[in-house]
A and B are shown apart, each in its own frame.
Chain A
Amino acid sequence: MLLRVDKATTSKYLLKIRPTSERLVDIGFKNIVVAMASMVAIVLFSIFAVVYYESTESISRYGLRFLFSSAWNPVTDEYGALTAIYGTLFTSIASLLIAIPLGVGTAIFITENIIPKYIRDVIGIMVELLAAIPSVVLGLWAVFIMEPFIRPFLNLIYELFGFIPFFGTQPLGAGMMPAILILVVMILPIITSISKDSLNQVPSKLREAAYGIGASRWTTVFKVIIPAAISGITGGVLLALGRAMGETMAVTMIIGNSNNFSWSIFAPSYTISSMLANQFGEADGSQVSSLMYAALILMILTLMVNVFAQWIVKKLSLKY
């Protein structure tokens, strides 16, 4: 079968076998990148493990009672995170309800050809640059500029609708409402830029077909474009929700940091992350463990939202 050729010719035409050194580099490099990829998994797991391990003392002592008590008393060792959990959920969901129409509206405005493209591009870039401003700077701005500016308006609401429990206390500076507004500012860029990307990805055939059968611009937007882009928009909204729940600095500076439970959105309150930022530095003993328990709850909440976001994007995006 094989042709018999002399050695000189063989070595001339045979494919060269890689030198051992080159193969070692190849294998070594692959192992290094595998190790680096596993770092993500290791970090993620150890974050969970460490937070869970540190909070075991509190979990075994309070159990689920921790979720439904608003006591926070280092002297008697009584801890409960109801105020913080309520504050986290309420501020993030309320800010989401304000930010969704604003963000999606802006995204539609800069993807439809209402005004020249370069103006729309500038608006898009400006909204995205808003995401680059650190949260502590937004907090500083909220404390010194925004809160004094909106207080008269909040006072007006209090005077007119004070009988409703949600507006039941006088706004005296820091409180839940300014925190909600600054959260809106922080999550707006996320919703806008993700919605913009998914609106841009809708095939132009769909739009042209809708115009062709006589639909007006906004009928097209509501009946064709948004349903086609809904997976991306929902994903963006959920990511924003996760961000809002975990947001720390701006909220800590403006929410007033009080563990007294109140239905009023003008009263000082707490979120889990602001509680951590505020108390973790000086805490010791079982307070650390209780704070870790609160951190674990926060992690589980954000994890659920993020996993749900990824799932829904996958689930809904199969359409187009």
Chain B
Amino acid sequence: MNYSSKKSLTFNPSLTRNIGNKALTITSAFFAFISILPLILVISYVLIKGGSYINLDTLILEPEPPGDDLLSAGGIGPAITGTFIMTIIASIISIPVGVGAGVYLAEYSKSGRFANFVRFGSNVLAGVPSIIAGVFIYAIIVSTKILFGSMFSGIAGGISLSILMLPTIIKTTDEALKLVPDTLRRAALGIGASKFTMISNITLPSAFTSISTGILLAIARAAGETAPLIFTALFSRYYITSIDDLFYEMGSLSVLIYNFALEPYEAQNQLAWAASFILVVVLLSLNILSRWIGTLGAFSKNKV
């Protein structure tokens, strides 16, 4: 074996392929850096700028009308409760429907024609722009005054959010139930359980953690949505005081950010930053919580 062929087997950094390799590796690292840059920038600005405007007054006061008082804009209290209430309304509607549809897909008809259509439909529904959900609810609930004569209302806002939550919940329930081993089902049916007992006592509990991951993600998405609310729930500067108030305009953090960010007054802009601080902190914690729950389950994706 001569010297040159021996050398050709050792690593030679000046070869074109090795230079090209290095260049591409550096490029991809650079791309990865650019991709996480926005997250770091957005979060640090929201936490630092928004966090500096957070105090007890901001958290509990009602917002002042823009331009009324140039120094203080009040607080975001009603918006916090509004976001909370509308997210709860949306969850009350979409969790049973979504889990039910997911149970149908996974337990009753794994690949029937109707089941495939429902899967396709829920994928399409996931792709429907959120503003279209708002337009739809405006057309069927707000403009028809179908809810006891009320037009813009927190309930209408909650319903439009539920449309956005539905596809996520269906998909995660379907996939979570598919991860439950069939042996469990056969064992349950074998000892004489009815299908309902099998689903409610065996498969749903064992898929519970994965399903709740999906539900938390859906809630996090709904709580941050603005587009479906701007012409269904509109905005209100006041706290709700009774059940009746659910049928009137309701403020929310996201709409408050949208409205006040475009105001020319500094005080309102500060309120928008404070509201985004609350929203981002809550949504990021929900996301991290759902990730953590996802690792707990016996049949979760990360383990099987």
On A, residues with C-beta under 8 Å from B are 16, 18, 22-23, 25-26, 29-30, 32-41, 43-44, 46-47, 50-51, 54, 101-103, 105-106, 108-110, 112, 114-115, 123, 125-127, 129-130, 132-141, 143-145, 185, 188, 192, 216-219, 221, 239, 242-243, 245-249, 252-253, 273, 276-277, 280-281, 291-292, 295, 298-299, 302-303, 305-307, 310
Which residue of chain B has its CB nearest to the CB of A280? B231
Q: Is the CB of A139 within 8 A of B261?
A: yes
Q: Is the CB of B21 within 8 A of A29?
A: no
Residues of A with C-beta under 8 A to B118: 37-38, 40-41
State whether the Cβ of B53 lies closer than 8 Å to any Cβ in chain A.
no
State whether the Cβ of B31 lies closer than 8 Å to any Cβ in chain A.
yes
Q: Is the CB of B258 within 8 A of A253?
A: yes
Q: Which of B63-71, B179-187, B272-280 contacts A (4 or more CB under 8 A)?
A: B272-280
Q: In angstroms, how far is the closest chain A Cβ from the Cβ of B165? A: 12
Q: Is the CB of A136 within 8 A of B136?
A: no
Which residue of chain B has its CB nearest to the CB of A282? B231
Q: Is the CB of B130 within 8 A of A36?
A: no
Q: Is the CB of B199 within 8 A of A47?
A: no
CA distance in complex: A32, B262 (Å): 46
Cross-chain pairs A/B with CB under 8 angstroms, 7 sampled: A47-B128, A105-B27, A136-B254, A137-B257, A243-B127, A303-B127, A307-B124
Select the residue from A33, A50, A281, A310 with max chain B CB neighbours within 10 A: A33
Residues of B with C-beta under 8 A to A252: 258
A127-B36 contact given A36-B97, A114-B25, CB 8 Å threshold: yes
Q: In angstroms, how far is the closest chain B Cβ from the Cβ of A16? A: 8
Q: Is the CB of B42 within 8 A of A137?
A: yes
Contact indicator per residue, chain B 190-232, by CB within 8 Å of chain A (1) or not (0): 0010111001000000000000000000001001111100110
Within 8 A of A (CB), among B117-158: 117-118, 120-125, 127-136, 138-140
State whether the Cβ of B52 lies closer than 8 Å to any Cβ in chain A.
no
Residues of B with C-beta under 8 A to A136: 224, 226, 254, 257-258, 261, 276
A217-B25 contact given A36-B100, A54-B139, A299-B132, CB 8 Å threshold: yes
Q: Is the CB of B123 within 8 A of A101?
A: no
Q: Is the CB of A51 within 8 A of B125?
A: no
Q: In angstroms, how far is the closest chain A Cβ from the Cβ of B268? A: 12
Contact indicator per residue, chain B 26-44, by CB within 8 Å of chain A (1) or not (0): 0111011011101111110
Q: In angstroms, how far is the closest chain B Cβ from the Cβ of A263? A: 26
Q: Which of B54-62, B72-80, B102-110 contacts A (4 or more CB under 8 A)?
A: B102-110
Q: Is the CB of B121 within 8 A of A102?
A: no
Residues of A with C-beta under 8 A to B32: 105-106, 109-110, 123
Q: Is the CB of A46 within 8 A of B136?
A: yes
Tell which of A18, A133, A185 touches B283, judged by Cβ atoms closer than 8 Å.
A133
Q: Is the CB of A248 within 8 A of B276?
A: no
Within 8 A of A (CB), among B157-171: 163, 166-167, 170
State whether the Cβ of B269 lies closer than 8 Å to any Cβ in chain A.
yes
Tell which of B98, B121, B138 touches A44, judged by Cβ atoms closer than 8 Å.
B121
A126-B20 contact given A36-B96, A253-B261, CB 8 Å threshold: no
Q: In angstroms, how far is the closest chain A Cβ from the Cβ of B119? A: 9
Q: Is the CB of B100 within 8 A of A133?
A: no
Q: Is the CB of A140 within 8 A of B132?
A: no
Q: Which 5 A-B pairs have the closest CB atoms?
A: A246-B129, A134-B224, A36-B100, A105-B31, A306-B127
Q: Is the CB of B127 within 8 A of A39?
A: no
Q: Is the CB of B101 within 8 A of A39?
A: yes
Q: Is the CB of B21 within 8 A of A216?
A: yes
CA distance in complex: A231, B287 (Å): 28
Q: Is the CB of B230 within 8 A of A137?
A: no
State whether the Cβ of B115 lies closer than 8 Å to any Cβ in chain A.
yes
CA distance in complex: A143, B263 (Å): 12
State whether the Cβ of B7 lies closer than 8 Å to any Cβ in chain A.
no
Q: In angstroms, how far is the closest chain A Cβ from the Cβ of B249? A: 12
With A145-B45, A305-B127 given, name 20 new contacts (CB 8 A). Answer: A37-B101, A40-B122, A41-B117, A41-B118, A127-B39, A130-B39, A133-B39, A135-B224, A136-B257, A136-B276, A137-B279, A192-B35, A218-B20, A242-B127, A253-B262, A273-B129, A280-B138, A280-B230, A299-B132, A310-B123
Select the residue from A34, A40, A51, A123 with max chain B CB neighbours within 10 A: A40
CA distance in complex: A143, B45 (Å): 13
Q: Is the CB of A280 within 8 A of B135?
A: yes
Q: In angstroms, how far is the closest chain A Cβ from the Cβ of B85? A: 18
Q: Is the CB of B42 within 8 A of A40?
A: no
Select the residue from B18, B32, B225 with max chain A CB neighbours within 10 A: B32
State whether the Cβ of B24 lies closer than 8 Å to any Cβ in chain A.
yes
Q: In angstroms, how far is the closest chain A Cβ from the Cβ of B264? A: 12
Q: In angstroms, how far is the closest chain B Cβ from the Cβ of A109? A: 4
Q: Is the CB of B284 within 8 A of A132?
A: yes
Q: Is the CB of B101 within 8 A of A298?
A: no
Tell which of B18, B120, B134, B276 touches A137, judged by Cβ atoms closer than 8 Å.
B276
Q: Is the CB of B96 within 8 A of A47?
A: no
Q: Is the CB of B258 within 8 A of A108?
A: no
Residues of A with C-beta under 8 A to B287: 129, 132
State whether the Cβ of B114 lies closer than 8 Å to any Cβ in chain A.
yes
